[in-house]
Amino acid sequence: MAEELTAPAVACEEDAPQLSVRDLSLRFGRGCPACQGAASELAGNVCPACGTVHAVRAVSLEVYPGEIVGIVGESGSGKSSLMRCVYFDEQATGGDVRALPFDGGARNLLELSPQRKRAVRNQVFGMVYQNPHLGLRMGFSSLSNIAEAMIASGERNVGAMRARGEGLLERVSIPLARATCPPRVFSGGMQQRVQIAKALSANPPILLLDEVTTGLDLSVQAAVLDLILDIRRSFNVSMLVVSHDLGVIRMLADRTLVMLSGRVVEQGLTDQILEDPQHPYTQKLVSSLL
C-alpha cells in the first residue's frame, strides 16, 4: 500500500500530461437553453425542460506520465461514458482530448478522421473493459487476440508476433499451453488477464481500465490489481482507472476524481479524498465504505 501511494505525483507535475481532457461532454438529446450552460441545474443528469440526458458534463482531467488517475462514482454517474468517449467507443458531443504520445498533443483527438482514430486506439491506448466479451474476440485464440493490434499497426511477421504474445501471456500468468485456446474456454479471471495482455500488446503509453476487477472473486481481484501495479512499475504506463469500488481506487490511484450525475464534484490526492471528503456525496460514499 505505502509503496503505491508514494508514487510521486508531485515529481510528475514537471512533465507535461500524457493525456489531457478538457470540457468533455456527452449528451443524448438536442438540449435546450435551460440545460446548455455548464452550471445549469438538472434533475440528476436529465434536463427537466427538454428531457435531454447529460451523461458527461464538461469534465476535465489530466493524466501524467506513470500516474494512475481513478474515477469513482455510483452507477449512472457517467464515469464509463467518459472512458468510452476517450476511447472513441462513444462519439462525444463536445470537448477536447489530447494525447502527448500521439502527436505531441497538437490536435484534438475527437476531431481526427476515423482512420486516425483507429490508429490512436491501436497505438496510444490500451483498453480493458469490465466485460471481457467487449474487449476480446472469443472465437480467436488468445495469441491472435494479442496479435490483433500488432497486425493493425502493420506487423506482418508471425514469429515476432507469436514471441511477443507468448511473452505477454507469461507476464499475466497464463500458461503457454493455453496460448492457442480461445478465451471462450477460459474462466472470467483468465479472460480478464488475457484482455490485459491484449491491451498491452502494442506497448501503449496510456491504459484505460474500466471496472477491471468487478465481478471477479477476491483472490483473483488481488492478482489482477497486483498485475496492474506491476505493469505500471515496469512499463511506466499512465492509467485512467474507472471503478465504483473505493477499495480498488485506494489501492491503485494516485489521484481521484469523484463523479456524480455527469459532473466531477470533487478531486484530489486519493488519500485526501478518502480521509477528508468535502462533498456530501463523497462523504456518503466514504462512510458507506467504512
Q: Is residue 89 within the footprint of other proteins (CB under 8 A)?
A: no
**At its nearest, how many Å lie between other proteins and the CB of residue 52?**
26
Q: Tell which one of 180, 187, 236, 283 touches other proteins (CB under 8 A).
A: 180
Distances (CA, A) of 79 to 10, 126, 137, 230: 25, 17, 25, 24
Task: Give the binding range for other proteins (CB under 8 A) out of 39-47, 151-159, 227-235, 276-284.
Answer: 151-159
Give the integer Cα–Cα distance in Å for 179 and 165: 8
Task: Give the binding range for other proteins (CB under 8 A) out of 35-43, 82-90, 153-161, 259-267.
Answer: 153-161
**At its nearest, how many Å lie between other proteins and the CB of residue 84?**
17
Q: Is residue 37 within the footprint of other proteins (CB under 8 A)?
A: no
Q: Is residue 156 within the footprint of other proteins (CB under 8 A)?
A: yes
Distances (CA, A) of 116 to 92, 250, 285: 16, 35, 39
Give the integer Cα–Cα distance in Å for 245 and 135: 21
Bridge-based pairing state of the strands 206-210 and 19-28: unpaired
**Cell numbers at 119, concatenated:** 490508429
Distances (CA, A) of 72 to 46, 156, 241, 254: 20, 40, 9, 13
**At its nearest, how many Å lie between other proteins and the CB of residue 162?**
7
Contacts of 208 (CB under 8 A, 6+ apart): 83, 86, 87, 125, 126, 127, 128, 239, 240
Q: Is residue 22 within the footprint of other proteins (CB under 8 A)?
A: no
Q: Tell which one of 96, 148, 245, 271 touches other proteins (CB under 8 A).
A: 148
Task: Give the binding range for other proteins (CB under 8 A) out of 89-97, 98-106, 156-164, 239-247.
Answer: 156-164
Q: Is residue 91 within the footprint of other proteins (CB under 8 A)?
A: no
Q: Is residue 147 within the footprint of other proteins (CB under 8 A)?
A: yes
- The Cβ-side half-sphere exposure at 198, using a 13 Å CA radius, reads 32
DSSP category for residue 13: T
Residues 102-121 that bind other proteins (CB under 8 A): 114-115, 118
**At its nearest, how many Å lie between other proteins and the CB of residue 169?**
12
Q: What is the binding site for other proteins (CB under 8 A)?
A: 114-115, 118, 137, 140-141, 143-144, 147-148, 151-152, 156-159, 161-162, 179-180
